[in-house]
Amino acid sequence: MKLCSVHSVGYRNGPKPGTIEVNPEGAKIIQEVFGRYIAGDTYQAITNHLTEHYPNVREHTGLGDKWHVSIIRKILEAERYIGTRQVESGKLEKSNLFSAIIDPATFHKAQELLKQRCGTMSGVGKTPHLLQA
């Protein structure tokens, strides 16, 4: 059974069925994504960097031919990278499936920045719609 997907960059299927382990090269990508975002890079700048340095996207995501800003956004929002998962109540609890790749402080800083930048796909801020007053 294949468990890893685009939402699991940084992990690979483990040696036993139903297990997942950290993929060291993929973990490096995750750390770069978070580090660059916190340093001020936009989704597009991060996408361009990954395209230049990790051109074999399919190897890391299992999908597609190139990196997309939507992948960057999904990575930045995924609690699994701190070894937790969100349960129905909205709380985070330790994941039995995913080991942490980044520390909670880094993840939470990225979440703050996502909110500050208003969640736009460019990652640089919210542009008012032309029809809004």
Query: Does the residue 122 lie in any domain?
Result: no
Query: Does the residue 132 lie in any domain?
Result: no
Query: Does the residue 19 lie in any domain?
Result: yes
How many domains, in total, are found in the chain?
1
Beta strand 11-13 pairing with 92-94: unpaired
- Please provide the size of the chain in residues: 133
SS3 of 44-89: the string is HHHHHHHHHHCCCHHHHHCCCCCCCHHHHHHHHHCHHHHCEEECCC
Rounded average pLDDT over 93-103: 87
Residue 20 main-chain phi, psi, to 5 deg = -130, 140
Query: Does the residue 127 lie in any domain?
Result: no
> Does the reported pTM lie above 0.75?
yes
Query: Does the residue 129 lie in any domain?
Result: no
Residue 11 main-chain phi, psi, to 5 deg = -130, 160
Q: What is the pLDDT of residue 63?
A: 62
Query: Does the residue 70 lie in any domain?
Result: yes
**Whole domain around residue 70: which residue ranges?**
6-116
Identify the residue whose tokens are 């985070």.
92
Q: Check which CATH number belongs to the domain holding 105 and give it.
A: 3.90.1750.20
pLDDT digits (tens, 9 = 90+) for 8-56: 789 988 898 888 899 998 899 999 999 999 999 999 999 999 999 988 7
pLDDT digits (tens, 9 = 90+) for 57-94: 777 666 667 888 988 999 999 999 999 877 777 777 78
Identify the residue whose tokens are 């051109």.
55
Query: Does the residue 121 lie in any domain?
Result: no
Provide the 8-state DSSP code for 11: E
